[in-house]
Amino acid sequence: MPMRSWKNFWHRLGFRKTRRKSRRARSKLPQFEPLEPRKLLAADLVVQSFTADGVDLHVGYDVLNENATAFDVTIYRSSDGVALDAAIATQRVTDSALLAVGTGHEVTIAPSFADPWVDYFLVAKVDAANEIAESDETNNNRVFGKGVFEAGGVVYVHGDAQANALDITLGATLDVTLDGSTYSYTPAAVSTVHARLHEGDDTVTSGGHATGLLLFGGAGADSLQGGDSADYLLGGEGNDALDGGAGDDSAYGGAGDDYLEGRSGNDILWGEAGDDTYVFGSESDLGSDYVYEYSGSGVDTFDFSASGDYVYVDLSVTYGQTVIWNSLSITLADGQAIENAVGGNYGNSIYGNSLDNTLVGGDSYDYLVGGAGNDYLYGGAGDDYLDNGEGYD
Domain of 73: which CATH number?
Answer: 2.60.40.10
Domain boundary among 82, 116, 143: 143
Residue type for position 252: Y
- What are 276-328's pLDDT values in tens digits? 999 998 887 899 999 999 999 999 999 999 999 999 999 999 999 999 988 99
Please tell me the predicted confidence (pLDDT) of residue 39: 44
Same domain, 167 and 286: yes
- The β-bridge relationship of strands 174-178 and 181-185 is antiparallel
Domain boundary among 94, 109, 143: 143
3-state secondary structure of 108: strand
Q: Give the DSSP letter of residue 312.
A: E
Please tell me the predicted confidence (pLDDT) of residue 384: 85
Parent domain of 295 = 147-387
Please tell me the predicted confidence (pLDDT) of residue 10: 43
Let me know: does 46 contact 60? Beta carbons within 8 Å: no
Is 105 part of any domain?
Answer: yes
Is 4 part of any domain?
Answer: no
Instruction: Lay out the sheet containing 57-64: strands in order across.
Output: 44-52, 57-64, 102-109
Q: Which portions of the chain are predicted below pLDDT 70? A: 1-40, 208-210, 389-393
Same domain, 262 and 368: yes
Same domain, 259 and 229: yes
Let me know: does 267 contact 244? Beta carbons within 8 Å: yes
Residues 6 or more apart whose Cβ sits within 8 Å of residue 275: 257, 298, 299, 300, 301
| Distance in angstroms (rounded) separating the CA atoms of residues 209 and 175 | 11
Number of domains in the chain: 2
Domain boundary among 143, 172, 205: 143
3-state secondary structure of 302: strand
Please tell me the predicted confidence (pLDDT) of residue 393: 46
| Distance in angstroms (rounded) separating the CA atoms of residues 202 and 221 | 7
Same domain, 129 and 213: no
Please tell me the predicted confidence (pLDDT) of residue 212: 87
